[in-house]
Amino acid sequence: MNSNAVGKLTSTPGQTVGPFYGYALPFAKDRELLAPGSPGSIRLQGTVYDGAGHPIPDAILEIWQADADGKVPHRTGSLVRDGYTFTGFGRSAVGNTGVFTFTTVNPGPTEEGAAPFIAVAVFARGLMNRLFTRVYLPEDEEALAKDPLLSSLDPDRRRTLIAHRDPDGGLSWDIRLQGDGETVFLDFSSAEGASK
């Protein structure tokens, strides 16, 4: 290889994700980070919308999160669910109505005073690359106000990252890819990881 060429390498362009094939990505209990009905389990649910406000029927979401104590799991087994091991990873294809659901736990703060959140990746038809975002728990307003990402946003944009607590203790949070109320997505191409 020519040593002069090393500094001139550039990234290859993205390629649209999807369509998704039922035999390739889903796996048994992929959306169950722990068994439904387990002590402390909650449901995270919502709908993925396009720029016109229509539900997207073929998106896939992946989530990563800390456990209820704020510890990031380092256990294997994300693709083979045993019903007992919390690995902090889940994947959910949306239904025909754009609805997703996960069975998980409320993540704890990863450090004292931090706002608990769940990291989310969105894959959908027409996207050149997956999108990254977060969903925050709504209760600790002081921690939310101090969060570096949230505090860098205008209040209207900040609201797109904070879930609503359901009467049964679960979380509801919708994703809007464009338009009014567009969800804040994170840009990891720069060193700062700026939001857009």
Q: Where are the alpha helices (DSSP H) in 4-131?
A: none
Confidence check: pLDDT of 72 > 50: yes
Confidence check: pLDDT of 64 > 80: yes
Q: What is the pLDDT of residues 102-153, one digit of tens each?
A: 999 999 999 999 999 999 999 988 888 899 999 999 999 999 999 999 999 9
In terms of Cα–Cα distance, which of 176, 172, 134 is closest to 48? 176
Question: Which domains does the chain possess?
Answer: 27-176 (2.60.130.10)
What percent of the chain lies above the pLDDT cut of 70?
85
